[in-house]
A and B are shown apart, each in its own frame.
Chain A
Amino acid sequence: MRVFHRKRWLTPYLLLAPGMLWLALFFLVPLGFLFYQSLESGNIDFGYAFTWAWGNYSSAIRSYRGQFERSFEYAGIATVVAFLVSYPVAYWIAFRGGRWKNLLLLFIVAPFFVTYLIRTLAWETILSDNGFVVRILHDIGVLSPGGRLLATGTAVVAGITYNFLPFMALPLYVSLEQIDQRLIEAAEDLYASRWAAFIRVTFPLSLPGVVAGTLLTFIPAAGDFINAELLGSPTNHMIGNVIESKYKELLDYPAAASMSFILMAIILAMILLYARAVGTEQLTG
């Protein structure tokens, strides 16, 4: 008769097993392999051997410091811009959207429905030297004659911002939408101006969305290489471009592996710092 309860004890593990096994085998184990490989030395012609080659890490930082710094700079700017640009819209949909909310959300995620590479190519078209954007900027004198947008850092940051914008806007919307309107009314009842009510009540309550949005934007942005490849020039290359070429073209696996690990370590360190600043419970939900 006790069978019922004994089975119950096992149930969660049976449910978890297939999915967790998959993640363990094809996420954790590969990370282990990557770490192993990052400590190998040798070359592609004679093969690589494990030699505790910590030097890979120091030489990666020494040789590609610029690309590392640029990755985080571009990702940081893109994240801040995406936040500033999409917060008002998320607010507008959450509080003024009414029965159109779902439709407006559809507009927010619409870019996702165009293949990533294709929408980046579209920006290449828009920002190209004889496109209308450059022409207008020439006409109003923002861009000097002969100045261009394509193949500049600005174009790369703009591309990253656009591509990850829905990652920022959606969590912002979700957290704003959950705010009880009566709390804002209560704040106004207690003599808060509309602006004070926003700063003291609405914004703090939307923080979980801000946290989720920044992480979801910053992390993929820091590892991106597509925007730099299609919209930038080699002087705009990020660490993703270096890892990609080491892996796919130069077949210098240990160097690429060590750079991947440095990238991940820096991102994790930033997440932890961020978590300490805003509170952990907002991170994993």
Chain B
Amino acid sequence: MTSVAVPLRSRRGTLAAAVAFARRHVLTVYSLLFFAYLMLPIGVVIAFSFNDPKGRFNYTWQGFTWKNWEQWNAIPDLQSAIQLSLLIALIASIVATLLGTLVALALVRYGFRGRAATNLLVFLPLSTPEIVLGASLLTLFLNLTSVLPIGFWTILIAHIMFCISFAVVTVKARLIGFDRHLEEAAMDLGANELTTFTKVTLPLIAPAILAALLLCFAISIDDFVVTYFNAGNRVTFPIFVWGAARVATPPQINVIGTAIFVVAVTLMLANVVFQNRRAKQA
């Protein structure tokens, strides 16, 4: 009898232990489920980039193939759409980060009249729905078509506009934690304003500027709504996807989506590893 009872009791023990574990780690278990939910569509995007769909739509799993990756640019206009998106994102992120950094410097470093109004003007685009941003810009551009045809430049102007606020917020956050005494020390040691900026301020806020640059790039390359209103007949990658979604969804869209995801995650991972290493050095 005892020989039966022992494994029985121990089985009940493991069950109780499992329940106890789940109770103690309910938050952890929940969080893991949450991450699974977050990753689910991403997994679908990646998986379906290897799908071999029979019809025009890439919605049901048919079979594995490398074909889509090998012929990623086999779809007409896809390559030019990606090139346009990259070019716009590159220019917009650089210009917006530059302008945003200057605004952030003014806001954190100087007392001046009109500070509240400046903060408001930075805050407002962030709290306006994209569709309103896009529609209002289109209204302006429709009145300017004789001097500024709707196309590349209007997309670029729009992207810089909605990126500026993000750049200001990102750089500002870093500047607020910045020890003003460091700049005073530089001046105390004979550095003028310009030298102080290049030798002390800039190296110390460089990570924030880089973060702003990456953020702006990501927002720009992903933007659909504002671009859709102000692109005229130019086609960026999101606009291409939008057009495709109505008539056909070639798996190459998933290939590009996966590629963007992998590049972005790699960059972010590199940043995390880099920061951890720096933290460890300290």
- A: which residues have CB within 8 A of B? 11-13, 15-16, 18-20, 22-24, 26-31, 33-34, 36-37, 85-86, 88-89, 91-93, 96, 99, 102-104, 106-119, 121-126, 128, 130, 162, 165, 215-216, 219-220, 222-226, 230, 240, 243-244, 247-248, 253, 256-257, 260-261, 263-264, 267-268, 271, 284
Question: Do A30 and B139 touch across chains, with their CB atoms under 8 A apart?
Answer: yes
Contact sample, A vs B, 6 pairs, CB 8 Å cutoff: A15-B102, A27-B136, A92-B27, A93-B31, A121-B253, A263-B132
Closest 3 CB pairs of A and B: A223-B129, A12-B110, A30-B136
Question: Do A253 and B127 touch across chains, with their CB atoms under 8 A apart?
Answer: no
Q: Tell whether B204 is near chain A: CB-to-CB under 8 Å.
A: no
Kindly list chain B residues whose C-beta atoms are within 8 Å of the C-beta of A116: 222, 224, 238
Kindly list chain B residues whose C-beta atoms are within 8 Å of the C-beta of A117: 224, 238, 241-242, 245
Per the bound structure, the CA–CA distance linking A263 and B134 in Å amounts to: 14
Give chain A's interface secondary structure class: helix
CB within 8 Å of A: which B42-59 residues: 42, 44-45, 48, 58-59
Question: Do B132 and A18 touch across chains, with their CB atoms under 8 A apart?
Answer: no
Per the bound structure, the CA–CA distance linking A116 and B138 in Å amounts to: 22
Question: Do B28 and A92 touch across chains, with their CB atoms under 8 A apart?
Answer: yes
Question: Do A263 and B129 touch across chains, with their CB atoms under 8 A apart?
Answer: yes
- B: which residues have CB within 8 A of A? 27-28, 30-31, 34-35, 37-42, 44-45, 48, 58-60, 99-100, 102-103, 105-106, 109-112, 118-133, 135-140, 142-143, 157-158, 160-161, 164-165, 168, 218, 221-222, 224-225, 228-229, 237-238, 241-242, 245, 249, 253-254, 256-257, 260-261, 264-265, 268-269, 272, 275-276
Per the bound structure, the CA–CA distance linking A247 and B19 in Å amounts to: 57
Given contact pairs A30-B139, A118-B257, A165-B38, A103 touches B99 in the complex (Cβ within 8 A): no
Kindly list chain A residues whose C-beta atoms are within 8 Å of the C-beta of B229: 247-248
State how many angstroms separate the Cβ of A93 from the closest Cβ of chain B.
7
Given contact pairs A26-B161, A117-B238, A247-B135, A240 touches B129 in the complex (Cβ within 8 A): yes
Question: Do B103 and A16 touch across chains, with their CB atoms under 8 A apart?
Answer: yes
Residue from A29, A260, A284 with most neighbouring chain B CB atoms (10 Å): A260
Question: Do B127 and A267 touch across chains, with their CB atoms under 8 A apart?
Answer: yes
Partner of B121 from the list A24, A118, A123, A222 (CB cut-off 8 Å) is A24
Kindly list chain B residues whose C-beta atoms are within 8 Å of the C-beta of A33: 136, 139-140, 143
Per the bound structure, the CA–CA distance linking A268 and B224 in Å amounts to: 23
Question: Do A18 and B102 touch across chains, with their CB atoms under 8 A apart?
Answer: yes
Give chain B's interface secondary structure class: helix
Residue from A23, A102, A219, A263 with most neighbouring chain B CB atoms (10 Å): A23
Question: Do B245 and A18 touch across chains, with their CB atoms under 8 A apart?
Answer: no
Per the bound structure, the CA–CA distance linking A195 and B112 in Å amounts to: 46
Question: Do A20 and B103 touch across chains, with their CB atoms under 8 A apart?
Answer: yes
Question: Do A102 and B272 touch across chains, with their CB atoms under 8 A apart?
Answer: yes
Question: Do A13 and B129 touch across chains, with their CB atoms under 8 A apart?
Answer: no
Residue in A closest to B264 when the chains form the complex, CB atoms: A113
Kindly list chain B residues whose C-beta atoms are within 8 Å of the C-beta of A18: 99, 102
Per the bound structure, the CA–CA distance linking A284 and B229 in Å amounts to: 29
State how many angstroms separate the Cβ of B36 from the closest Cβ of chain A.
10
Question: Do B106 and A16 touch across chains, with their CB atoms under 8 A apart?
Answer: yes
Question: Do A31 and B136 touch across chains, with their CB atoms under 8 A apart?
Answer: yes
Per the bound structure, the CA–CA distance linking A29 and B236 in Å amounts to: 25
Residue in B closest to A244 when the chains form the complex, CB atoms: B131
Kindly list chain B residues whose C-beta atoms are within 8 Å of the C-beta of A92: 27-28, 30-31
Residue in B closest to A4 when the chains form the complex, CB atoms: B193
Residue in B closest to A113 when the chains form the complex, CB atoms: B264
Kindly list chain A residues whose C-beta atoms are within 8 Å of the C-beta of B241: 115, 117-118, 121
Residue in A closest to B253 when the chains form the complex, CB atoms: A118
Kindly list chain A residues whose C-beta atoms are within 8 Å of the C-beta of B222: 112, 115-116
Kindly list chain A residues whose C-beta atoms are within 8 Å of the C-beta of B157: 26
Question: Do B272 and A23 touch across chains, with their CB atoms under 8 A apart?
Answer: no
Question: Do B34 and A86 touch across chains, with their CB atoms under 8 A apart?
Answer: yes
Kindly list chain A residues whose C-beta atoms are within 8 Å of the C-beta of B135: 34, 243, 247, 256-257, 260
Kindly list chain B residues whose C-beta atoms are within 8 Å of the C-beta of A125: 44, 48, 58-60
Kindly list chain B residues whose C-beta atoms are within 8 Å of the C-beta of A128: 59-60
Given contact pairs A33-B136, A244-B131, A16 touches B260 in the complex (Cβ within 8 A): no
Per the bound structure, the CA–CA distance linking A123 and B42 in Å amounts to: 10
Other A-B pairs beyond A122-B48, A125-B48, A125-B58, 6, CB < 8 Å: A26-B140, A26-B160, A34-B136, A111-B38, A162-B41, A268-B127
Given contact pairs A26-B161, A111-B42, A253 touches B139 in the complex (Cβ within 8 A): yes
Question: Do A99 and B100 touch across chains, with their CB atoms under 8 A apart?
Answer: no
Residue in A closest to B271 when the chains form the complex, CB atoms: A102
State how many angstroms separate the Cβ of A95 from the closest Cβ of chain B.
9
Question: Do B105 and A114 touch across chains, with their CB atoms under 8 A apart?
Answer: no
Kindly list chain B residues whose C-beta atoms are within 8 Å of the C-beta of A226: 224-225
Question: Do B127 and A121 touch across chains, with their CB atoms under 8 A apart?
Answer: no
Partner of A91 from the list B27, B125, B142, B257 (CB cut-off 8 Å) is B27
